[in-house]
Amino acid sequence: MGDFTSNQRPSLSRRAFMVGGSAALGLAAFPALASIPNTPRRLTLLNLHTGESVKSTYWSDGQYVPGALGEIAHVLRDHRNNSVHPIDPHLLDLLTHLRRSLDANAPFHVISGYRSPESNAMLAAASDGVAHNSLHMQGMAIDIRVPGVQLKHLQKAALSLGSGGVGYYAQSDFVHVDVGRVRRW
């Protein structure tokens, strides 16, 4: 479960850096996220498909950390074809807020992070539960579970944030969260 070391950090595109750098301005659109204290923000994520994990401080000294955003994007890549895409920093902030509301220290277990259009089309063709224009394809959605936290409790905590979409998938054992419009299913 290789945590990233300094010589393994994936590069971050200029576009991804610009998205991350301007993301702080967008917090006003997500009131619950704006309440995150201006202290370092850390996440630990375990990709259940690749076995890779990342423990990263992605926000420090009042700004997003480009190298950390790159590490996170790499771990959350599409495991079907290894496509890497920038992850919306608001999604990371949502996860940080969710972790704090759960008072949980366990890593987020990731079922699905970024999905390439090809992977999403394949999944949508096989299941009615996959949106054809999924926010996963924009790096704005993630499917998760947290060890030691009941799925229903995770769903309720996500709903209590009042930010983005929350989907409950009891049979598949995960909760979907995204930074799109507020909705639930």
pLDDT range class, residue 104, cuts 50, 70, 90: confident
Inform me whether the pLDDT recorded for 20 exceeds 80: no
Question: Mean pLDDT across the stretch 52-57?
Answer: 98
Look at residue 1 in the predicted model and tell me its pLDDT: 35
- Are 27 and 34 a contacting pair, CB within 8 Å? yes
Tell me which amino acid residue 176 is.
H
Inform me whether the pLDDT recorded for 17 exceeds 50: no
Q: What is the C-alpha separation between 101 and 167, in angstroms, rounded?
A: 18
Phi, psi of 182 (to 5 degrees): -70, 125
- Are 168 and 155 a contacting pair, CB within 8 Å? yes
Q: Which of 32-41, 52-61, 65-74 has the lowest mean pLDDT?
A: 32-41
Look at residue 7 in the predicted model and tell me its pLDDT: 33
Question: Mean pLDDT across the stretch 52-78?
Answer: 97
Look at residue 19 in the predicted model and tell me its pLDDT: 43
- Are 165 and 180 a contacting pair, CB within 8 Å? yes
3-class DSSP state of 41:
strand
Q: Which of 1-5, 85-89, 157-161, 162-166 has the lowest mean pLDDT?
A: 1-5
Strands 183-184 and 174-178: unpaired
Percent of the chain with pLDDT strictly greater than 70:
80
Structural domains in the chain, CATH included, are: 6-184 (3.30.1380)
pLDDT tens digits along 127-171: 888 999 999 999 999 999 999 999 999 999 999 999 999 999 999
pLDDT tens digits along 39-49: 999 999 999 99
